[in-house]
Amino acid sequence: MKQSNVIWVVVMLLAGVYLSWRAVSYQAGAVYVAPKIVADADSGKSFTTWSKVPSVESSNPGVEISWPRTLGIWLSALFTLAIFSFLFGDNVVYKVAESIFVGSSAAYAMVVGFWSAFMGIFVAQLAPQFSQNTFMPGDDRTEPEWLMLIPLAMGIMFLWRLMPAGGWISRWPLAFFIAVFAGLRLVSHFEADFVVQIKSTILPLIVFAEDGAFDLKTSLWNSTMVLGTLCCLTYFFFSVEHTGVVGKISRVGIYLLMITFGVGFALTVMSRYSLLIGRMNFLLKDWLNLG
Amino acid sequence: MDKFWNSLANLDRRWLFALTFLAISIPLLTGIVLPQKVTPMVENVFNAIDELPSGTKILMPLDYDPSAEGELQPMADAFIRHAAQKKHKLYFLTIWPTGVAMIQRQVATLKKEYPEYVYGEDYVNLGYRPGYEGVIKLITSDLPKLYGSDQQGTPVAKIPMMAGIDSIKQFPLIVNVSAGDPGLKQWVQYAATPFDSIEIVGGTTGVQASTLYPYIPNQMIGMIAGIKPAAEYEKLMFEKYPEIEKRPNSNMANVFMTSQEVAHFMLIAIIILGNVVMWQTGGRRDQS
């Protein structure tokens, strides 16, 4: 084994020993909850809710450890470490964590979509009596919304592609959705990203303040905006050869684009660090009770 | 000396990971907070919420998921605390299925820190509806058609603060926190741009920021892009409402930003060192 690998194995073992000691001695990841009795004005009944309290209040009367929440913290921490293990190379622990993440995310989105859209909108409107008797007791709709039969038919047509024959039927609802979203996006992009953007670039290059004095700052700002936009557009204008004056203007456009890419890249680095800091904060404070 | 430069050129990258771990962890554990200078854009976002009369209806779409929590949670917390401090009426919704859990976190913060806030009278959780930007398009003209009930299934007719709400054009301000598409861009495209009555401010990830800056100021009042402006927002909030600073975890953006700054210093130092090593070794690297 390479010397560097030996060092890292030792470091990892020491970290494991520390974590085990921390878990036993300081109840790492332990979540304490306190009960609160809430009265429901409508039904006249009361029920108990449990809210998280700081670990320093663990000895207060009524406060007890919440095993499901504690298990959640531990699972979350171990999966975070499993994903971090990719820093040492691709490995089976990382692959398992990645697969579980993908699977659980898809399942979560499906369940939320099922209850929010299928049951909450579709079934509730098409069969209000059924929904009131089962999952939406507070709903006071009485008449079915028969227009919901149209999305029902389209949904069935969508699923028809799973049938051995007549797969082409699924193309009709697909064509409908493509047309709707293409239309929606065309209009919104044209207005928000084209017309209004052009309007935003039509600015006075020389600006005077209300008292008649020359406003140097705004003038410079507006000039940079207008000239910068024109330089960048010139770079993407390929009908004229980029030589002479046009070449110089397009060169300025390239520099401006490079600055923009640099800013974008720096913002991305900041963004990624923020995510790492968020996870480190969770590991150090929520899990290990440090700091 | 050559041996020293060669050893640096062949440094195991895991030492850099360990260095990053230390650069981030030490500020987190010590709780050191570096000062922030507030920029005009953050001031505009702050004023957009602060200058509204108390009790104003604010639509708060939270379109992000746990994978962006490290960056967006501190700013979402700041928005909620600020709006609650001003006693605004908060209408939560999301067009991300995983955004439901993010709303629940904010609701938990409200319940804990602002117990006087009553569900249905001061805040409501309208939950998730599928349809991407189609949701935004529809609720600009008919909100009850899509949101017939809240997240718990309670009909909106039974929620006092939903009385008289026909569309999102009735909200003087939208405060969106978004991690991608559909998100802030679509709220600007489908709500703020076509309707002059709708004003919007947003919080977003640094990755998205460069695509959203062109919308400011004509289509969007301002934006909190990443953890740095979130820290500035907290600073403004603490200056005006010092009582918020005493609450636990209310300065998370500032704590995170300090870690961020230390990590950035480290990164800059490594980039400079890497170039010096390259220059000293002539780009040679021991492949053995």
Span B42-60, pLDDT tens digits: 999 999 999 999 999 999 9
Whether B77 has a pLDDT exceeding 90, the answer reads yes
Measured in angstroms, the CA of A244 and the nearest CA of chain B are apart by 30
Estimate the crossing angle of helix B252-281 against helix B69-85, to 10 degrees: 150
pLDDT at B285: 63
| Calpha distance B124→B93 (Å, rounded) | 9
Instruction: Give the pLDDT band of residue B273 (cuts 50, 70, 90).
Output: very high
CB contact under 8 A, A263 and B129: no
Q: Does B270 touch chain A (CB under 8 A)?
A: no
pLDDT at A1: 67
Q: Does B66 touch chain A (CB under 8 A)?
A: no
CB contact under 8 A, B226 and A267: yes
Neighbours of B141 (CB within 10 A): 12
pLDDT at A45: 80
Tens of pLDDT, residue by residue over A55-107, are 888 888 889 999 999 999 999 999 999 999 898 888 999 999 999 999 999 99
CB contact under 8 A, A184 and B133: yes
- Closest-CA residue in chain B for A278? B70
Give the pair of three-digit tokens for residue B141. Answer: 């003209």
According to DSSP, the residues that pair with B218 across neighbouring strands are: none
CB contact under 8 A, A138 and B158: yes
Across chain B, mean pLDDT equals 92
Q: In the CATH hierarchy, which fold is given to the domain comprising B40-257? A: Rossmann fold (3.40.50)
Instruction: Give the pLDDT band of residue B286 (cuts 50, 70, 90).
Output: low
Whether B287 has a pLDDT exceeding 60, the answer reads no
Measured in angstroms, the CA of B85 and the nearest CA of chain A are apart by 22
Pairing verdict, β B173-178 and B123-128: unpaired
Residues A248-260, mean pLDDT to the nearest whole number: 95
In chain B the first and final C-alpha atoms are separated, in Å, by 20
Give the pair of three-digit tokens for residue B182. Answer: 């559909």
Instruction: Give the pLDDT band of residue B244 (cuts 50, 70, 90).
Output: very high
Residue type, A126: L
Measured in angstroms, the CA of A78 and the nearest CA of chain B are apart by 16
Residues A257-285, mean pLDDT to the nearest whole number: 93
| Calpha distance A28→A290 (Å, rounded) | 9
The H-or-E segment that residue B225 falls in is: strand B222-225
Whether B29 has a pLDDT exceeding 60, the answer reads yes
Residue to mutate among A125, A141, A273, A287, with most B CBs inside 10 A, is A273
pTM of the model: 0.89
| Calpha distance B285→B266 (Å, rounded) | 23
Residue to mutate among A277, A285, A289, A290, with most B CBs inside 10 A, is A277
**How many residues can be counted in chain B?**
288
Given a contact cutoff of 8 angstroms between Cβ atoms, the answer to whether A246 and A240 are in contact is: yes
Whether A169 has a pLDDT exceeding 90, the answer reads yes
Q: Does B93 touch chain A (CB under 8 A)?
A: no
Tens of pLDDT, residue by residue over B155-174, are 888 899 999 999 999 999 99
What interface predicted TM-score (ipTM) does this complex get?
A: 0.91
CA B65 to chain centre: 11
Q: Does B63 touch chain A (CB under 8 A)?
A: no
| Calpha distance A120→B147 (Å, rounded) | 10
Residues contacting residue A61 through CB under 8 Å, at least 6 positions apart = none
Interface subset of B 134-163, CB within 8 angstroms of A: 134, 137, 146, 148-149, 153-155, 157-158
Give the pair of three-digit tokens for residue B243. Answer: 């009582």
pLDDT at B52: 96
Please report the number of interchain residue pairs, chain A to chain B, with beta-carbon separation below 8 angstroms. Answer: 166
**Residue A139: is it exposed, middle or buried by C-beta count within 10 angstroms (0-12/13-18/19+)?**
buried
Interface subset of B 4-43, CB within 8 angstroms of A: 12, 14, 17-18, 20-21, 24-25, 28-31
CB contact under 8 A, B129 and A117: yes
| Calpha distance B103→B223 (Å, rounded) | 20
CB contact under 8 A, B24 and A276: yes
Tens of pLDDT, residue by residue over A104-122, are 999 998 998 898 888 888 8
Q: Of the candidates B146, B158, B256, which has its C-beta nearest A277's C-beta?
A: B256
For A200-227, letters b (16+ CB in 10 Å) and e give: beeeeeebeeeeeeebeeebeebeeeee
Q: Does B281 touch chain A (CB under 8 A)?
A: no
Residues B254-275, mean pLDDT to the nearest whole number: 94
Residue to mutate among B196, B247, B256, B261, with most A CBs inside 10 A, is B256
CB contact under 8 A, A124 and B14: no
Residues B280-284, mean pLDDT to the nearest whole number: 81
Whether B82 has a pLDDT exceeding 70, the answer reads yes
CB contact under 8 A, A136 and B259: no
Given a contact cutoff of 8 angstroms between Cβ atoms, the answer to whether A250 and A242 are in contact is: yes
CB contact under 8 A, A196 and B218: yes
Q: Of the candidates A112, A184, A199, which has its C-beta nearest B100's C-beta?
A: A112
Tens of pLDDT, residue by residue over A175-225, are 999 999 999 999 999 999 999 999 999 999 999 998 889 999 999 999 999
Residues A232-239, mean pLDDT to the nearest whole number: 93
pLDDT at A187: 92
Given a contact cutoff of 8 angstroms between Cβ atoms, the answer to whether A287 and A29 are in contact is: yes
Instruction: Give the pLDDT band of residue B265 (cuts 50, 70, 90).
Output: very high
Share of chain A above pLDDT 90, in %: 55
Q: Does B64 touch chain A (CB under 8 A)?
A: no
Residue to mutate among B190, B232, B266, B271, with most A CBs inside 10 A, is B190
CA nearest B39: which of B265, B263, B247, B209? Answer: B209
Q: Of the candidates A137, A278, A285, which has its C-beta nearest B70's C-beta?
A: A278
A chain contacts of residue B12, beta-carbon cutoff 8 Å: 4, 8
- Closest-CA residue in chain B for A132? B153
| Calpha distance A267→B60 (Å, rounded) | 25
CB contact under 8 A, A273 and B112: no
Neighbours of A141 (CB within 10 A): 18
B chain contacts of residue A276, beta-carbon cutoff 8 Å: 20, 24, 70
